[in-house]
A and B are shown apart, each in its own frame.
Chain A
Amino acid sequence: MSAAAGDARQSVSGSGAAEPRPGEKPQPRPEERSGPRPGEKSQARPGEKSEPRSGERYEGKVSVGMAVGQEARAEGAAGREVSSGASAAPPGAVEPPVRGVLATLAHDRWVHVMLGLLVLLAAGSYVLPLVADLDYARQSSAVLQGPSASHWFGTDEFGRDNAVRVLVGARSSLQVAFGAALFAMVAGVVIGLVAGYFRGPADAVAMRVLDVLLALPEVVLALVIIAVLGNSGLNLVIAIGVAFVPVFARVTRAGVLALREQDFVVASRAMGARSPDTMARTVLPNVLGPIVVQFVITAAVAVVVSAALGFLGLGPEPPTPSWGAMMQTAKSYLYQNPWYGVAPGIALIVTVLCLDRLGARVRIALGVEHSGAGRGGRR
């Protein structure tokens, strides 16, 4: 009856006889019952709560044969006999199929659509100009045209084809977005992992610094950083990425704090593991779920930020197209060609929507209920 025993025996109880106990609902699908994989820890697992020692209750998807087979010590001849005698079916045959996170995602129609659109956009922006005769810099005399059969989204002030420019503009948007999200993830995870694992003064200092970063709007922060570093593709990635480091650090740290007192982390130390080993092998894989979700969602926000910076004149040098810069120019010709800004706008909306939905589906697949991530995280 240690404190831990108390946990194990916690039960769901209603006040008086009034409250229904969700407790006993068995969950037929194994992945819902399985232990805390990346995010599954927060998933409601009602089957576990209802009875004192119910931890193993619905857990063991042990086939009948195995259950019997493993009772006696395996090396004993008698034990083997029992085992083989009772195994009517091979182990595994009785079990419902196990679906991993990836398999769940692979069966998700939303994921098919969203991922498909993004891949199409990315592939189109890089590959199409190579195979077809599409040049984003080719000028013509037909300036500021509306949509037509030859120019689906019309033309700009130099008579360049808007459709091609939007397509190629996706390059910079996606590069910057994923680059920035990657940068933020690597830096944020390292900071969050170390701060959360060791706690102490280093944690306090790191978190206060990140709080300051969090207080600055990302566009302003990015502007300042580019002003200092100069305008280049890589600097743009860093400038936007820095703004998202605090979110990753916080998400990671929150997960680590919840994990560091868990028995299996303590067990890792008890086995003589060094701290970096424990952090990388034991703690990190168990907090990865919310981080992955955060990555996808951050990429969505970073697309918007990169467009905003483009709108302010930061981004790839002309004539290389970018969505933000296109919308900025479109604003000047709003009366001459109202269609000008529509194409980059739609592209932006579709991209952000795809990433955001994708993030949501990943979150569901991982069972991350509340990661502190998502749109509430920043913005």
Chain B
Amino acid sequence: MSLRSAVPVLGGAPDPCDGPGSPAPLLSIEDLRVAFGGGDQAVAAVRGVSYEVYPGETLGVVGESGSGKSVTVMAALGLLTTATAATVTGRVLFEGQDLLAMSAPQRRRVLGRDIAMVFQDPVSALNPVQRIGDQIAEMIRLHEPGVSRGDARRRAVALLEMVGVPHPGVRARQYPHEFSGGMCQRAVIALAIANRPKVLIADEPTTAVDVSVQAQLLEVLRTAARETGAATVLISHDMGVVAEMADRVCVMYGGRVVETGPLARVFGHPRHPYTEGLLACIPRLGDPVARLTPIPGQPPTPYLLGKGCAFAPRCAHRSGREVCLGERPELVVVDGEGRGGVAAACHFLAEREVPGLRQAPPAAAASASASASAASAVVSSPAASAVSSSDSAVSSPAAGGEGREGGGALLEVRELSKEYPMRSGLLGRRTGAVRAVRGLSLVVRPGETVGLVGESGCGKSTTARLLMRLEEPTSGSVVFDGEEVTGASAGRLRELRRRMAMVFQDPKASLNPQLSVGANVAEPLRLAGGWSRPARRERVAELFDQVGLARHHLERRPSELSGGQRQRVAIARALALRPKLVIMDEPVSALDVSVQAQVLNLLADLKAELGLAYLFVSHDLSVVRHVSDRVAVMYLGRIVELAGRDDIFERPRHPYTQALLRSVPSAEVEVARRGRRAPLQGDPPSPLNPPEGCSFRSRCPLAEEACGREVPLLRVHDGLPGEVACHLAGAGGTGAAGGPAALSAGAGW
């Protein structure tokens, strides 16, 4: 495969900081403004955005949801006007021509040929009733009518091969539904580069896929850009992805660019308080901190933005100054010029240039200064106490591992399995089974956080539901607080469910939209009985205080709150009956990063305050590292590795864990650019038909014939901490030196 050839790409080769001698920009957006609706109702989603892309470079556009990063691009390409009644002003120059001033036919000739897009959801970006190869061939012939059908097909196959689709000849004749999500996105990339575009715009290209597939796709995007020589605009909310891919970045907030410049300079030395906050609030895999520094407040709502700086209400540096609210800061060049220059939009850039604070190892300095500055404005007394308590938890990670044997188990899971029968035919005969969870054993002790991590489809959410018997397990047992959950009668089960609680991923879906949030929180109290109305009201108010919600929110509907606030409501509801265990199913993955940090801190505080035990299910390794005492890594329904947090993240022993850790993009420029990891190949196998023996062997770089014979058991190897389910873990001391561990060397965690 061509893309596997070593890529000298972004290691630093095309240096973005060429200085004034750099060529003219290929695509430049000038003062683009987008408003939806008309008259008084008009909502400005994009408020004067300018950026340019130079030939051969990758521009990363970062921002949270609602920052206008996608709208900008859609508007710039003229894709907004028809259906949405949007008003677009400004100029979008491509090779000297204004795209917005062009007629529709002219623009059509440019789009797809010179400027191509890759969308977030690959499955819906492809025509479901047309063969993949035909779709690509059609795209080629659309812009190059001279090409014969046969030639176009052959080129389509070659393109598919280039983006790493195995057996491209066969795959080209297949339909999108026969492709996995990752494969679809490869096809979409092939489609985008079919006409060798000059600009490739990728809008959240990897958000819909798993980390291991994300790593593959980023590689493909890089190859695609290199092969076609296209300039790339990469839009993403994920700082890690941007850090890994981009030469220059453009940070957007509230429909404006707040900071732009070469990646290393912006991420290494953020000038704008928002960039700084954004970098400080993401949990880092390589550099765990006891407590995250969230950006206070909520991401802005376009129609509530005033005329001042959009970030002012959340800004730690504003210190009440009126100018931030009244006057919009312009993007001013701080340092350098043109392509290599850094520009930021803040009234107080000068005072933020405090010497001595920075210039050390950039990432560390940034987070340190951010925490220092943000802490002064935000921290309240209970939070401060929680810092110290979670500090102590961090300082004794081993205790989280195997040391707490004496505590006894709060939750004990033994050989839990769940199969979903597949039925087909007229009589619904059972033709197979999706084996979602296969013999899972796990212990959660009081006051402990166990992280359950894995890619989509590995059965982690099913496990969470099985534990509360929201789904009936096929076999196995769950014992909670000394009582059997699996065999409990309906009445006993209701009792048990009051002592364990669950927080779901999407708070919008998990709160009853018909009830006020106060009533939602009161539901468990009402159901438990024995709570009078005033007692309920009092407890709900207390819970609201506990999770940091204002009491005037009590009467609001869930739909009237923001995502972060809703998740606080969901957490308050879970805590209503003072449970001992809270099962969290991806509690922060639906939230923006700045809000995610707030919720993670809240969870840490609550744990310290109430002595809760958490089972924390997540796909996000950085988040899991941040919250967990012990971590279980799942693959295809089984736990493949279970160990103390630091053991797993610093000394991963299962090849899957190692690969997973290598796949996570890091927002630290240093780490991101260091010799690029080899991503895990292929897609996870279907749980309908998992490989015999070790399920991971189909993707394992170390797999031997023996791996197919027997299912490896989760056990302690060579007296090392943690349990691993790998045949090779014991053979010849893989643990610290040889075997799988060799792969992790250089990963640099």
Could you list which residues of chain A lie within 8 angstroms of chain B, going by C-beta atoms?
1-26, 28, 30, 33-38, 46, 50-64, 66-79, 82-83, 85-86, 91, 94, 98, 262-264, 266-274, 277, 281-282, 285-286
Contacts and interface: CB of A to CB of B under 8 A. Distances in A.
A4 B43 contact: no
Given A9-B207, A52-B204, A76-B383, A264 B562 contact: no
Contact of A268 (B523, B565, B605): B523
A37 B602 CA distance: 29
Interface string B554-593: 0001111111111000000100000000000110011110
Contact of B296 (A22, A59, A82): A82
Contact of B301 (A50, A53, A62): A62
B501 A270 contact: yes
A91 B546 CA distance: 21
A8 B595 CA distance: 16
Interface in B467-526: 468, 470, 493-498, 501-502, 504-506, 508-514, 523-524
A58 B66 contact: yes
Contacts of A21: 70, 74, 79-80
B504 A62 contact: no
Contacts of B122: 13
A67 B125 contact: no
Shortest beta-carbon contacts, A-B, top 3: A76-B380, A56-B563, A60-B562
B138 to A, nearest CB: 10
Interface of B: 34, 36-37, 41, 43, 45, 64-66, 70-71, 74, 77, 79-86, 111-112, 115-117, 119-122, 124-127, 135, 139, 191-192, 204, 207-211, 237, 294, 296-299, 301-304, 306, 313-314, 320, 377-383, 455-457, 460-461, 465, 468, 470, 493-498, 501-502, 504-506, 508-514, 523-524, 527-528, 544-546, 548-553, 557-566, 573, 585-586, 589-592, 595, 598, 602, 605, 617, 619
Contact of B456 (A3, A264, A277): A3
A11 B236 CA distance: 13
A74 B211 CA distance: 36
13 contacts: A3-B461, A4-B506, A16-B125, A28-B43, A52-B207, A59-B508, A61-B560, A64-B304, A73-B546, A263-B506, A269-B497, A271-B501, A272-B497
B210 A1 contact: yes
Nearest to A19: B79
Q: Which of A3, A4, A24, A86 has the most CB of B within 10 A?
A: A24
B456 A82 contact: no
B296 A68 contact: yes
Given A5-B589, A14-B119, A36-B513, A77 B65 contact: no
Nearest to A83: B550
Nearest to B596: A53
A75 B558 CA distance: 22
A351 B548 CA distance: 54
A302 B242 CA distance: 63
A284 to B, nearest CB: 9
Contacts of A20: 74, 79-84
Given A2-B619, A56-B564, A263-B504, A8 B297 contact: no
A26 B562 contact: no
A62 B37 CA distance: 21
Contacts of B546: 73
Nearest to B551: A74
A72 to B, nearest CB: 4
A6 B524 CA distance: 29
B470 A2 contact: no
Contact of A24 (B45, B377, B552): B45
A215 to B, nearest CB: 23
Given A26-B302, A28-B43, A270-B468, A263 B510 contact: yes
Nearest to A28: B41
Contacts of A52: 65, 120, 204, 207-208, 237
A36 B511 CA distance: 11
B517 to A, nearest CB: 11
B606 to A, nearest CB: 10
A53 B591 contact: yes
Given A5-B589, A71-B294, A64 B527 contact: no
A19 B82 CA distance: 10
B121 A11 contact: yes
Q: Which of B112, B121, B457, B509 has the most CB of A within 10 A?
A: B509
B559 A59 contact: yes
Contact of A4 (B86, B112, B461, B527): B461
B545 A74 contact: yes
Nearest to B513: A35
Contacts of A2: 456, 460-461, 505, 585-586, 617, 619
A35 B558 contact: yes
A266 B313 CA distance: 37
Contacts of A51: 65-66, 70, 120, 204, 237
